[in-house]
Structure 1
Amino acid sequence: MAPDRENITIIGGGIVGLSVALGLLRSGQRVVVLDGADADLRASQGNFGLVWLQGKGADHPAYARWTRDAVAAWPEFSRLLREYGGVDVALTQAGGYEFFTDETELRAFAADLERQQAALGNRFAFEVLSGDALRRVVPGLGPEVAGATYSALDGDVNPLRLLAALRGAVTALGGSIEAGARVTRVSPISGGGFDLALEGSGTRRAERVVLCAGLGSATLAEQLGFHTRVRPQRGEMLITEKIRDRLPVLSSTIRQVNEGGIQIGGTKADAGFDDRESLQIMSDLARHAVAVFPALADVRVVRAWGSLRVMTPDGYPVYARAPEHPGAFLVTCHSGVTLVPMHATALADWIEGKPGAPDLEMFDDTRFALPDAA
Structure 2
Amino acid sequence: MTITTSSPGEPDIVVVGGGLVGSALALGLMRSGQRVTLLDEGDVAYRASRGNFALVWVQSKGLGHPEYALWSKRSAEAWHSLAGILREEAGIDVAHSQPGGFTICLSEAELEQRAAIMTRLHNQPHMTDFPYEVLGREETKRRLPDIGPDVAGAIYSPLDGHVNSLKLFRALHAALAARGVYYRPGHPVASIAPEADGFRVTGPWGELRAPKILLAAGLDNARLAPMVGLEAPVKPSKGQIIVTEKAEPFLRNPMVTIRQTDEGGIMIGDSQEEAGFDTVVGMSVISVMAERAVRTFPRLRELNVVRTWSALRVMSPDGFPIYEQSQAHPGAYVATCHSGVTLAANHALTLAPAIAAGGPLPDAVATFTSRRFHVPAGL
Corresponding residue for 1:69?
74
Q: Which amino acid letter does the alignment assign opposite residue 131 of structure 1?
A: R
- Determine if the alignment matches structure 1 residue 29 to structure 2 residue 30: no
Identity over aligned pairs, percent: 44
Shift in alpha-carbon separation, 1:224–1:103, aligned structure 2, 3 A = farther
Whether contact under 8 Å (1:95, 1:155) holds in the other structure is yes
Q: 2:19 aligns with which of 1, 4, 14?
A: 14
CA contact (8 A) 1:4 1:205 kept: no
For the 8 Å contact 2:70–2:127, the answer to whether it is kept is no
- How far residue 366 of structure 1 moved from its aligned partner, in angstroms, is 1.3
The one-letter code sitting in structure 2 at the alignment partner of 1:111 is A
Partner in structure 2 of residue 157 of structure 1: 163
- For the 8 Å contact 1:193–1:205, the answer to whether it is kept is yes
Q: Is the 8 A contact 1:6 1:30 kept in 2?
A: yes
Deviations 1:67-118 (A, max 9, x none): 1110111112211110111010001111110011133333232233234434
CA–CA distance in structure 1, aligned partners of residues 364 and 128 of structure 2: 22
Distance 1:76 1:359 in 2: 19
Partner of 2:55: 50
Deviations 1:276-318 (A, max 9, x none): 1101011001101100001111111111111100001110001
Partner of 1:232: 236
Give CA-to-partner distance per residue, 1:32-80, whole Å, 9 cap, x none. 1101132111101110000010111122111111111101111122111
Cα separation, partners in 2 of 1:112 and 1:350, compared to 1, 3 Å: farther
2:185 matched to 1:179? yes
**Paired AA for residue 139 in structure 2:** A
- Residue 369 of structure 1: aligned partner: 374
CA contact (8 A) 1:24 1:31 kept: yes
| Counterparts of residues 134-283 of structure 1 (less than 5 Å) | 134-189=140-195, 191-198=196-203, 200-247=204-251, 249-283=253-287
Calculate the TM-score normalised by the size of structure 1.
Answer: 0.94
Query: What code does the residue aligned with 2:262 have?
Result: N
TM-score normalised per structure 2:
0.93
Would the aligned equivalents of 2:323 and 2:365 in 1 still touch at CA under 8 Å?
yes
The answer to whether the Cα contact below 8 Å between 1:187 and 1:194 also exists between their aligned partners in 2 is yes
User: Are 2:252 and 2:260, in contact at CA under 8 Å, matched by a contact in 1?
Assistant: no
Q: RMSD across aligned C-alpha pairs, in angstroms?
A: 1.9
Q: Which residue of 1 aligns with 2:135?
A: 129
Shift in alpha-carbon separation, 1:323–1:354, aligned structure 2, 3 A = closer
Contact 2:331/2:358 (8 A) holds in 1: no
User: Does the CA contact (< 8 Å) of 2:66 and 2:127 recur in 1?
Assistant: no
Alpha-carbon contact 2:111-2:153 (below 8 Å) kept:
yes
**Cα distance, 1:66–1:359 mapped onto 2, change above 3 Å:** closer
Aligned length: 369
> How far, CA to CA, are the matches of 1:124 and 1:180 in structure 2?
43
- Cα deviation for residue 162 of structure 1 reads 0.5
Kindly tell me: are residues 301 and 356 of structure 1, through their superposed partners in 2, closer, same or farther at Cα, counting changes over 3 Å?
Answer: closer
More deviation, 153-162/121-130: 121-130
Instruction: Tell me if the contact between 2:55 and 2:254 (Cα under 8 Å) persists in the aligned partners.
Output: no
Partners of 1:135 and 1:113 lie apart in 2 by 21
What stretches of structure 1 of length at least 5 have no aligned partner?
none
Tell me which residue corresponds to 1:350.
354
How far has the Cα of 1:225 moved from its partner? 2.5
Counterpart of 1:110 (choices 111, 115, 140) is 115
Mean Cα displacement is larger for which, 85-94 or 103-112?
103-112
Greater shift in the superposed pair: 221-230 or 332-341: 221-230
CA deviation vs aligned residue, 1:138-166 (integer Å, no higher than 9, x gap):
21211111211001111100001001111
Which one is further off, 353-362 or 118-127?
353-362
Structure 1 letter corresponding to 2:315: M
Which amino acid in the other structure matches residue 113 of structure 1? M
| Counterpart in the other structure of 1:304 | 308
Partner amino acid, structure 2, of 1:11:
V
Map 1:280-299 onto structure 2 (within 5 A): 280-299=284-303
> Does the 8 A contact of 1:16 with 1:340 survive in 2?
yes
Partner amino acid, structure 1, of 2:42:
A
- State the distance in 2 between where 1:261 and 1:167 align: 24
The alpha-carbon deviation at position 371 of structure 1 amounts to 5.0
Q: Flag structure 2 segments of 5+ consecutive residues without an equivalent.
A: 1-7
C-alpha displacement of 1:201: 1.4
In structure 2, do the counterparts of structure 1 residues 122 and 219 end up closer, same or farther at CA, with 3 Å as the change threshold?
A: closer
Alpha-carbon distance in structure 1 between the residues aligned to 2:185 and 2:109: 48
